[in-house]
Structure 1
């Protein structure tokens, strides 16, 4: 925010937000003439504010302390890795003035800002997400106003303060990056959604729904519930290692963390053993019931805060699991008994709990995967562990998701990785399948308006034969 803004300056949510947006517009005016090099310095400034070791650690410590989600070391890794990856993706890329010229078509593209961006930040990633959004927004010479969750308020304040210190170094106005002042509440968040020029919402389904109904152009993202398929040809030890990494990183705060594994029957027992070797604990039927009751005390949609992004030992205690091995596990496995509202363990769990499904063959594995995603996580992501290229082709055609990762840890790869071609981000669209207009990983190009200049070129008019010849030859005139 402009950290000088105080609640006493205005008496209503609309006035508070109106003032922030006005300050953002004024800040944008001061950088309207920035050249590409200056813009990239802004992005570097924001990146360094959260990448620098002491800042990354302090922000991560406060995040765990305030929200109770995840663990410090993984959050430090996430901030530094995502920041470095995003900076690598966008540094030097054209985003100011003329960004492309196609002389043959007589087309010139000129990039311009979209305006003041409003970003609603989730409690599960209260430090990494605002930094990532600020980087890609400033890349387009936009200003951004962040709306944190109440539990992530102190984290967002630290992020903004760190960014302001770096913006001071490059002589840029602090109001390029602001946040909604405390107390954070729904009234201010919803006012922000309506007042800004472009809206980005990552977080609860309620906030996403309000964002989509705000009337503001938006990139609201869908919920995750990642499914990983393991076929009979997979390298099981490697697949188990990948799934464990994805399931346990930051105690599964990521929407890209594996929630279910659908395993072909012929390798099911061997795959479970491989997962156990990675620290997984397979619950028996009684333990599964106790775990489900602790996680969903009122059924689907009531995920308990006692388990969200918590250490596995704490989950074992919450579920009153008696086996000593359960209290030493890295993550828990439960065998799926069905899919849908009556089977909440088939949905997104945001915890170190993995639901296993046994499929007769690859065809049934695809059917189960589709059912799970239709229930929750439509359009978001899934993965396949295989050495069969025909299976890669088939799942790509049959499963309607925006991201399909082959032989990769989901939460490491879905939001971009140095060993795949996806751009780094913390906001991933689910396409029209998930009710989103965004079907890719959010990046700086989504924060640009493009003026397309068209000049006269040599006329090229097709003949009737060129356009209709094949049709007439087949069907007649």
Structure 2
């Protein structure tokens, strides 16, 4: 009975929040680009000012990650994202092609439903609010219950800052009684225009099954291939930095290392010199039991935990200076935990005879889990890099950069984002790093430049000549003169 009452409270809260958000969004839609940007700047400044406080709150509440790294993520979600998006035209006429007589107008989507995970709670709120407001939308968050306090505090801070800069009250809101039933209501409500889903596979699948347009992301499980021509010392450094950043809680982080047999010993020595600990077979089997739960999902007990905490959990001994735990592996499969996504400082290690076999293994790993997401390759051989780019089933192939920071656009020049599309192969509606451009529609205003008679004459001419039918290249002199005259008249 208590659970039912909580569900009813949550459902009613969602209905109220969407009503407020819809009213606020209608006011946002009337604002100028300058007014919208002023609100965004206020959000960014507030997030930067409180980034350390929010980072500590998130770490203390969830037990995941390292608060100092969460500060970096909060600042990335605010200032880095804003520096990329600040000059985007997202209000009114955003493009005018006078030659072809096509004008593009930005149209906000409306109320966005933002699903927030416990792994990156504060940074994801900042990021999703910022790109939603930039595109003229309001947003209602569904917080992960295990990160409720830090999420609500983040919403309070940025919403107050936004309102002080002229944002309509109710444009940035959050559920305070999150339940599955309440979140379901948020996703299926007729006034919810789009779902922006970041979280577990079940939640993302529910978003796509809701009947509401959705942008969701599948699991990451990116392998890192260290090809023999690579700067191995630098490659290992980047992988170690990436896998230990916030204890591996970003889904673009590396999950396995793949090498060629000829480079294996050199890579192993370099990993060990930089703090990686290769688990003895017996200890690897002990840890393996804690990576996945019986239902095949990742064990939350290891997520974002330090090496020492994970070692205690698995009852194994590791050196005090160990930064990452590595298990030798040869297999790939749903029931092979080391071949799956591990949001913790744990890596699988594979070796193959050639780079072609390594490429095929990376493909197998991704097709087992993580297809469409991200992988990294460390190499100086452009031909091999090109081969991977043409054949590996990912939306982001990162070259000579850390997976975590490269995938989100921090150390690369792709769009900075904390929601990474996986494309059709990964069950996602887009392969983009999600930006404000993904959160608005474009209305195209276009003038007629041909008449039906022109089309008939063109078709007849092409048939008589035995040529293929092409509107753009098969035009009579008369038609060209007519078209030019009409265009000039319109432009005057």
User: TM (normalized to structure 2)?
Assistant: 0.89
Q: For structure 1, which segment, 305-314 or 451-460, has the greater mean C-alpha deviation from structure 2 after superposition?
A: 451-460
Q: Partners in 2 of 1:8 and 1:190 — Cα distance? A: 16
Once the two structures are overlaid, the 10-residue window that deviates more, 168-177 or 72-81, is: 168-177
The equivalent of 1:305 in structure 2 is 300
Of 303, 316, 325, 1:332 maps to 325
> How far apart are the structure 1 equivalents of 2:268 and 2:227?
13
Contact (CA 8 Å) 1:370, 1:399: kept in 2 or not?
yes
Q: Distance in 2 between the 1:207 and 1:349 partners?
A: 18
Matching residue of 1:425: 417
Q: Name the SS of the counterpart of 1:368 in structure 2.
A: helix
Do residues 36 (structure 1) and 33 (structure 2) align? Answer: yes
Partners of 2:77 and 2:124 within 8 A in 1: no
How far apart in 2 are the matches of 1:103 and 1:222? 41
Once the two structures are superposed, the pairs formed by residues 448-467 of structure 1 within 5 Å of their partners are: 448-457=440-449, 464=462
The DSSP-based 3-state class of the residue aligned with 1:41 is: helix
Question: After superposition, where does 1:248-287 map in structure 2 within 5 Å?
Answer: 248-287=244-283
Match of 1:170 among 165, 170, 178: 165
- The within-5 A match list for 1:393-432 is 393-417=386-410, 419-432=411-424
Deviation of 1:232 (Å): 1.1
1:49 aligns with 2:43: no
Which of 423, 435, 445 is residue 443 of structure 1 equivalent to? 435
Where in structure 2 are there 5+ consecutive unaligned residues? Answer: 471-492
> Separation in 1 of the partners of 2:371 and 2:299?
22
- 1:434 equivalent in structure 2: 426
Distance change in 2, residues 1:401/1:10 (3 Å): closer
The answer to whether the Cα contact below 8 Å between 1:313 and 1:328 also exists between their aligned partners in 2 is no
Flag the 1:30–1:342 CA change in 2: closer, same or farther, 3 A: closer
Quote the residue 1:191 is aligned against: 185
**Structure 1 CA distance, aligned partners of 2:32 and 2:87?**
11
1:290 to 272, 286, 303: 286
The equivalent of 2:473 in structure 1 is: none
- Distance in 2 (CA, whole Å) between partners of 1:293 and 1:439 is 33
Counterpart Cα distance in 1 of 2:403 and 2:322: 21
Aligned to 1:475: none
Count of aligned residue pairs for this structure pair: 457
Which residue is equivalent to 1:155?
150
Q: Does the Cα contact within 8 Å between 1:126 and 1:152 map onto a contact in 2?
A: yes
Question: Which of 78, 82, 97 is matched with 1:83 structurally?
Answer: 78
Describe the shift of the 1:219–1:302 C-alpha distance in structure 2 as closer, same or farther (beyond 3 A): closer
The 1:328–1:103 alpha-carbon spacing in structure 2 relative to 1, beyond 3 Å, is same
Task: Trace 1:365-376 onto structure 2 (pairs within 5 A).
Answer: 365-376=358-369
1:192-250 residue CA offsets vs partner (Å, 9 max, x unmatched): 01111111110011111110000001101111101111111111001001100111000
Alpha-carbon deviation of 1:8?
11
Does structure 2 conserve the Cα–Cα contact (< 8 Å) formed by 1:137 and 1:447?
yes
- Cα deviation, residue 467, structure 1: 6.0
Larger radius of gyration: 2
Contact 2:7–2:179 (8 Å) recurs in 1: no
What is the CA-CA distance between 1:468 and the residue it aligns to?
2.9
Structure 1 gap ranges (5+): 1-6, 471-477
Aligned residue for 1:119, secondary structure, equals: strand
Which stretch shifts more, 64-73 or 171-180? 171-180
Counterpart of 1:220 in structure 2 is 216
